[in-house]
Amino acid sequence: MSTSATESAWTLLRNRGFAMVLGYRILALLSYQVVAVSVGWHIYQLTGNTFSLGLVGLAEVLPFFCVAPFAGYLVDHLPRRRLGMAACTALALTALVLVGAARHWWPGTPLWPIYAAIALTGMARSFLSPIYNALFARVLPREQFVRGASLGSVIFQTALVCGPALGGVLVGVGGEALAYGVAMVLALGAGAVLFKLRVDEPGPPKESLPIFASIAQGGRFVWNHPIMLGAMALDMFSVLLGGVVAMLPAFIQDILQHGPEGLGILRSAPALGAVGVGLWLARHPLHKNAGRILLWAVAGFGLCVIAFGLSRSFWLSAAILVAYGICDGVSMIVRSTILQLATPDDMRGRVSSINGIFISSSNELGAFYAGTMARLLGLVPAVLLGGAAILMVVGVTAKRAPALRRLDLKDLH
């Protein structure tokens, strides 16, 4: 397949293996997102207690963190396609348990089956990205990794927009059981795509270390790779400190004076920006000055956080969040491309799991940080402080990580 400058994202999809890997990713993400939005509604309908909603996140994140390092090890040592099918089956089983909870298969209204299903979701989710990243590298040649990462980012952001919307519509039309049933079908569909996928998979590493030593080997690789470590840390701190999205309900009511329809628009705006820049970069991939572009993108992300905190106009705020999503999309694409190009094939699972822990910790802790700072300082000062802190992180990273600052992606080929 041609890799000329005029090659479009659609040309990449002529690669049947790559199209199927993307199909697996979007179906699995849609299944997870439908469950995520539906289970929150379900729990709150049963309890009317916001603390119960907080336990949903805890029930998923703790198993994710516990399983993720071992998931990476297994992805590097077992057939990745079969392991992905098993993870999709676990997602489908999760949805089936939730169907039972919605249909009252157990007497009364017990919450334990719901929380158990959420915990299983966290375990299964720890496998999804490592498997995607490992298969991605087997279906595309290295010279197409940059465009492939851009298109993968588009798929990811599209699922983040469509999944919650689909879940909300399904709950509204037919209740929680219908939403969970559709999520089960989507998960089985993701597994079926992997079943049909034909890809040349490497065997297990020739020198197999004990499991904990092998996990530690992945950690040392990331720690001793200044470009990868710098990119991961930069992304982690920017998301941790720039938790604007978590505060949108408060901004809508207290600052912008809009209703729930306005919240929906603002929640979609960052993904719109990220999808747009992903499509652009799939056609015009980055190669030169990728490190500087990454630093400027994260600096732009911080400036967008500050601008959003200062805005009092709804539509200006929406436009700022589109720019926020563009900057975040550039950061995600550059970081994922670095991950693909710099990671040896026999370590993709472990390195991807470490990357997943970075991302998940920043998302979950970022929401907690934003809420805590808003409580201590007030809503707008907390957001402004977060944006200023992001700019400081960019400055420190640019100074302390010269290899990242000078990075051209062609240097990683």
For CA atoms 197, 202, 205, 206, give the dihedral sign.
positive
**Helix boundaries (H) for 140-204:** 145-174, 176-196
Cα Rg of the chain (Å, integer): 21
User: How far is Cα 48 from Cα 52, in angstroms, rounded to an integer?
Assistant: 8
Contact 316, 251 (CB under 8 A): no
Q: What is the pLDDT of residue 174?
A: 85
pLDDT given at position 6: 38
Intra-chain end-to-end CA distance of the chain, in Å? 18
Tell me the average confidence (pLDDT) per consecutive run of 10 residues in the chain, 413 residues long: 46 81 91 83 73 69 83 82 92 93 78 88 88 84 76 78 77 86 95 89 63 73 79 80 72 74 71 82 76 90 92 90 90 81 75 73 64 78 89 88 79 61
Supply the pLDDT for residue 10. 65
Q: What is the pLDDT of residue 8?
A: 55
Closest to 53 measured CA to CA, from 125, 126, 118: 118
Residue 361: predicted pLDDT: 58
Say which amino acid occupies 361.
Answer: S
Containing 207, the helix (H) or strand (E) segment is: none
Note the pLDDT of residue 1.
38
Q: How far apart are CA 216 and CA 307, in angstroms?
A: 41
Q: Closest Cα to residue 228, out of 135, 400, 355, 73? A: 355
pLDDT value of residue 4 = 43
Taking the C-alpha atoms of residue 100 and residue 107, their distance in angstroms, rounded to an integer, is 11
- Going along the chain from its start, the domains and CATH numbers come out as 15-199 (1.20.1250.20), 209-412 (1.20.1250.20)
Instruction: Please state the pTM of the whole predicted model.
Output: 0.72
The pLDDT of residue 47: 77
Per-residue confidence (pLDDT) for residue 411, from 0 to 100: 65
